[in-house]
Amino acid sequence: MIIDIHGHYTTAPPQLGAWRDQQIAFTKGDGDAPDPSTLQISDDEIRETIQANQLKLMNERGSDVTVFSPRASFMAHHIGDLAVSQTWARICNDLCARVRDLFPDRFAMGAMLPQSPGEDPATSVAELTRAVEELGAVTVNINPDPSGGFWTAPALTDRSWYPLYEKLVEYELPAMIHVSTSAKPVFHTTGDHYLNADTTAFMQLLKGDLFRDFPDLKFVIPHGGGSVPYHWGRFRGLAMALGKPELEEHLLGNVFFDTCVYHQPGIDLLTSVVPADNILFASEMIGAVRDVDPRTGNYFDDTKRYVDATTSLTDDQRAQVFEGNARRVYPRLDRALTARGL
């Protein structure tokens, strides 16, 4: 199987964005808070958006299953207060669960959390629990910077995150570390903000000893790990300077990277530096980079081509990247696939 562990509902029906616009207006003092019940999206409208977009590309590119979560840039945790984020998270998570229900052999559900700047991370536990127990989520996205570029949140190793981590371990749920929209114009959301955050998250984990307390906790750092593979020697050296073990011992039992890297040299580097057991196939298709590369004639985000072509992986390692690692890191996904005979 080809399992893509990084997909977002970037093509949701326009009613979703229109409802969110009303909610954002409310946070600015313009009108009342919109009622979630006024957001009406039919099953047929969901089918149309998926069949014409994600499912079409999955079939063309040869991927079988996508882990599908709310649009990352739409999370925008810096907008409004905790109540605003809680309402928005429920709406977006319910919608992704409906996608999974309509296409159960092709999509698994991932959830967003209702984070808000200055709020205790424990406030997200209730929605995490609902997403798993009621909606069947196989992963959640954790935003290490709910402020949208101001980095006011405690480091991922801070004990304030522990109630959330305890639930993740209890549910055998890996978390993708994924920021959202930049609130600072100097940062481009999907360019430097996303990739900076990937690098920052890795460095936060390197500086701490989180996995001594949570040996079973699993994190996926997306977009190939930001700058991490390119600067692997720097991070090894910093680990030594900080008195930490080698990265393989210190982090790689718990930290994984995806293949959302949009050119062949990038995938070649990732797969030659990071052990194959720590790489999971992903594309984030119809996401940050949607165009065709004029140098190759293929879409930038058709990452399966790069994984197929790299000489840094053996055939057995390639199978692990495409399927085996996802089944191991995402136990709930594996059980859901197995239950369907997949």
Give the catalytic positions in this structure. 284
Helices (H), 116-193: 125-133, 162-170
The C-alpha atoms of residue 41 and residue 45 are separated, in whole angstroms, by 6
The crossing angle, in degrees rounded to 10, of helices 14-27 and 82-102 is 170
- Strand ranges of the sheet holding 3-8, from the earlier edge strand across to the other edge: 3-8, 65-69, 107-112, 139-142, 175-177, 219-221, 255-258, 279-280
Task: Tell me which amino acid residue 94 is.
Answer: D
Q: 3-state DSSP call for residue 219?
A: strand
CA terminus-to-terminus distance, the chain = 8
Q: Which helix (H) or strand (E) holds 316?
A: helix 315-319
Contact 211, 254 (CB under 8 A): yes
Task: Tell me which amino acid residue 261 is.
Answer: V
Q: 3-state DSSP call for residue 63?
A: coil
Nearest to 274 by CA among 324, 235, 331: 235
As to burial, measured by CB atoms within 10 angstroms (0-12 exposed, 13-18 middle, 19+ buried), residue 15 is middle
Nearest to 148 by CA among 111, 186, 96: 186
Contact 270, 224 (CB under 8 A): yes
Q: 3-state DSSP call for residue 195?
A: helix
